[in-house]
Chain A
Amino acid sequence: MKLSRQLVKNIIEGAVFASPMPLGLEEIAVLFDDDEKLSRKELQSLIKELQTEYALRALELVEVASGYRFQVRAQFSPWISKMWPEKPPRLSRALLETLAIIAYRQPVTRAEIEAIRGVVVSTQIIKALFDRDWIVVVGHREVPGRPALLATTRLFLDSFSLKSLSELPPLAAIRDLESISREMENTTVEQQKI
């Protein structure tokens, strides 16, 4: 028995809402019996339709690393966030820089993070990242001391609305010294104009 497109869409919508975690395509697929089976393609196209139907609503159906989730659109956060008297703690620059290095350079050791940042990475920062489940130890480098190799988790991607690491904002290219000096000259010229 083939289910109507509308019914399937409603089931997907209900399932994503009911799931406490983002729901993956595979997890959606198993909700349907053998005779109701839908291909990945079909499911994806229905999800796309569902996303379009939400265009005018405050909610949106988005895909993050662990799957699909409904969320209140970012544009409403100025109002929605007032429901919680306490703002979520602002992420410190040190924490964000540490996180960025782990995200782009994973797996990395603490010493490697320190080499880039030029300062000791505080234990609190590493602990805070572990507490948020944004990073995990994925192994140990086979050098004296066997330092832990750190990498980001799927939850990190979910928390920053990313599907995969490839969606991270591109890292600025290393520029050669000539281009830097050219740029420096340009800025000097501009400043002189001012």
Chain B
Amino acid sequence: MSVSVIPESVLPIDAVNDENFARVYGEILTKLPEDLYIPPDALAVFLDDFEGPLDLLLYLIRKQNLDILNIPVAEITRQYITYIELMQVLNIDLAAEYLLMAALLAEIKSRLLLPKPAVSSDEEEDPRAELIRRLQEYERFKKAAEDIAELPQEGRDVFEAHAEPPVRDLLPSQPFFGDFALLLDAMRDVMKRTALQQSHVIGREGLSLEQRLQEIIVRLRLGETIIFHDLFPASEGRLGVVVTFMAILELLKQKMIELLQDNFFAPIYVRQYLEVAE
């Protein structure tokens, strides 16, 4: 489905990005004929202006001067479905949200169409009441958000003013005199307290790169040649392999060792680096 096949009557009639401007503009547009031409790229802009289904519903209600108490559910549902299709075309995630809203509207409509049992008709709540309540609730917070945005904001409207405090003497003017033994006592107290607060950490046995470097060097020092695979102790697992491999790379870089291989897939040998000059 392409944008061009959407019935013109449900094309968004508002192509202006600026929210405030759009609202003013909207008033004028309501009086314009519905077959007003809007370029297809205006759709994306229009959708940007809408945050969610309730938003859109409010917008439509206002735009079309719909009586909030007498929402023509079928008309809105039809328009909603068109929007959903649009959004699927445009790959917008919100499609699901709008679908929910459309379903709600459809439910309201079908409840209205169904014949009501004569007895319970008095007690049954107007199905539109819930929708109206939600719209109102949202409208309250929409207004509250606008009010909050109007408040003087630190860093935007008002700027905190500071002055440098007087320069403080960082070093005490008098050297410290005291009983050294008391100081030691205080120290001992602190140590005792830290001992009490000691927490138990279960640590894994450290595999240090340094240590592995040393081990490899020691093994190779006597001019011995080792098979590459034998440098990796299976017991150390993945971490051991990584540390050993890094150690080998490091030693290669430092020209402490060299690797030898006679053929492809032949065993690799590791030995101490021999100076070419020798």
Q: Are A160 and B151 in contact (CB under 8 A)?
A: yes
8 closest A-B pairs (Cβ-Cβ)?
A119-B52, A18-B165, A118-B54, A169-B147, A17-B163, A96-B145, A70-B161, A100-B144
When C-beta atoms are compared, the residue in chain A nearest to B62 turns out to be: A187
Interface positions of A from 58 to 74, Cβ below 8 Å from B: 59, 62, 69-74
Q: Which residues of B contact A188 (CB under 8 A)?
A: 65
Q: Which residues of B contact A171 (CB under 8 A)?
A: 140-141, 144
Q: Are B151 and A74 in contact (CB under 8 A)?
A: no
A162 close to chain B: CB less than 8 A: yes
Contact of A104 among B101, B144, B154 (CB under 8 A): B144
Number of interface residues of B (CB under 8 A): 47
Residues of A within 8 A of B (CB): 14, 17-20, 59, 62, 69-74, 77, 80-81, 87-88, 91, 93-94, 96-97, 99-101, 103-104, 116-120, 158-162, 168-169, 171-172, 174-175, 177, 180-181, 184, 188, 191
Q: Are A118 and B53 in contact (CB under 8 A)?
A: yes
Q: Are B141 and A100 in contact (CB under 8 A)?
A: yes
Q: Are A162 and B151 in contact (CB under 8 A)?
A: yes
Q: Are A100 and B154 in contact (CB under 8 A)?
A: no
Q: Are A77 and B159 in contact (CB under 8 A)?
A: yes
Interface positions of B from 87 to 109, Cβ below 8 Å from A: 94, 97, 101
Contact of B160 among A18, A69, A181 (CB under 8 A): A69
Q: Which residues of B contact A117 (CB under 8 A)?
A: 51-52, 54, 138, 141
CB distance from B122 to the nearest CB of A (A): 17
Q: Are B158 and A174 in contact (CB under 8 A)?
A: no
B38 close to chain A: CB less than 8 A: no
Q: Which residues of A contact B154 (CB under 8 A)?
A: 71, 158-161
B143 close to chain A: CB less than 8 A: yes
Tell me the bound Cα distance from A97 to B149 in angstroms. Answer: 10
Contact of B155 among A17, A88, A177, A191 (CB under 8 A): A88
Q: Are A96 and B148 in contact (CB under 8 A)?
A: yes
Tell me the bound Cα distance from A71 to B260 in angstroms. Answer: 73
Contact of A180 among B19, B68, B152, B157 (CB under 8 A): B68
Q: Are B161 and A159 in contact (CB under 8 A)?
A: no
Q: Which residues of B contact A97 (CB under 8 A)?
A: 51, 141-142, 145
When C-beta atoms are compared, the residue in chain B nearest to A161 turns out to be: B152
Decide yes or no: A96 and B149 within 8 Å by CB, A18-B164, A118-B101 being known contacts. Answer: yes
Taken residue by residue from 211 to 225, chain B's Cβ proximity to chain A (1 for < 8 Å, 0 otherwise) reads as 000000000000000
Q: Which residues of A contact B141 (CB under 8 A)?
A: 97, 100-101, 104, 116-117, 171
When C-beta atoms are compared, the residue in chain A nearest to B150 turns out to be: A169
Q: Which residues of A contact B149 (CB under 8 A)?
A: 91, 96
Decide yes or no: A119 and B145 within 8 Å by CB, A74-B158, A160-B152, A181-B67 being known contacts. Answer: no
Given contacts A19-B162, A169-B144, 9 further A-B contacts (CB under 8 A): A18-B166, A70-B162, A71-B161, A72-B159, A91-B149, A116-B138, A118-B97, A180-B136, A188-B65
13 A-B residue pairs with CB within 8 Å: A17-B162, A59-B161, A71-B161, A72-B161, A91-B149, A104-B144, A118-B55, A119-B51, A119-B54, A171-B141, A172-B143, A174-B137, A180-B68
Tell me the bound Cα distance from A179 to B160 in angstroms. Answer: 44
Interface positions of B from 160 to 175, Cβ below 8 Å from A: 160-166
Q: Which residues of B contact A184 (CB under 8 A)?
A: 67-69
